Amino acid sequence: MFHKEGQKIIITTFFLVVALILVAQFYIDLEWIRYAVQIVALVLLILVLQFFRNPRRPVTPNFDEILAPVDGKVVVIEEVEEPEYFKGKRKQVSIFMSPLNVHVTRYAASGTITYSKYHPGKYLVAWHPKSSTENERTTVVLHTPKFGEIGYRQIAGALARRIVNYAEEGEQVTQGQDAGFIKFGSRVDLLLPLDCDITVKLNQKVVGAKTCIASLRKKDD
């Protein structure tokens, strides 16, 4: 299954690849060059199809856990000062997505969208410390039944040139539901309450809508 955001690119790439294969077949005499062009064209199509894949991941909503919003690797776990919305300290967990990862953004928890804003910006590499505040990004906050308000940022990387954000203020959303898409390399920051327990480690690979990122702190902790 492929994400709807990739439909135009997939169709365009498919016809270009077919055209390249036919041109190579009928107009390139040297056999090794003809095969090389055809193989490169097919590899290009496979890469595009892989990038826009959207695997189904059924989720039974769990109000006691924050799930990974995307596939990727945890590159930051730290306490930060969040000036845009919370205007205070938050626990930040950042997940970097390479071009080989699934790039669908999914809601990490169920709740109500209370804030959704797009920010134009730079295209620093996604793991750069300033990418969270200087790159093109969207900031979304949702109010959850048990964690209160949690936030996340979709951040464009050096290759990303388009962030798709479905979150609209006042909307009720469900954990695991599509929240958007970032095209070609990117990062997502989760902004969580200080009193939650982070359940992942640095450099850990996580799976969107499956890996638990944070849970409620036990009362006796």
Same domain? For 24 and 106 the reply is no
Nearby residues of 46 by Cβ (< 8 Å), 6 or more positions away: none
Q: Which domain holds residue 95?
A: 65-216
Which run of H or E residues covers position 188? strand 186-192
The span from the CA of 156 to the CA of 127, in Å, is 10
What's the mean pLDDT in 116-123?
A: 83
User: Would you say 166 and 179 are in contact if contact means Cβ atoms under 8 Å apart?
Assistant: yes
Same domain? For 85 and 114 the reply is yes
pTM: 0.83
Q: Is residue 151 included in any domain, yes or no?
A: yes
With vertex at residue 213, the alpha carbon angle to CA 177 and CA 175, rounded to the nearest 5 degrees, is 15
pLDDT, one tens digit per residue, over 137-156 is: 899 999 999 999 999 999 88
Active site residue 186: yes
Same domain? For 158 and 124 the reply is yes
User: Would you say 178 and 55 are in contact if contact means Cβ atoms under 8 Å apart?
Assistant: no
Point out the catalytic residue in the list 110, 131, 132, 186: 186
Give percent of the chain with pLDDT exceeding 90: 64
The domain tally of the chain equals 2
Q: Is residue 221 included in any domain, yes or no?
A: no
Q: Is residue 56 included in any domain, yes or no?
A: no
How high is the pLDDT of residue 188?
93
Indicate which CATH number applies to the domain containing 119.
2.70.70.10
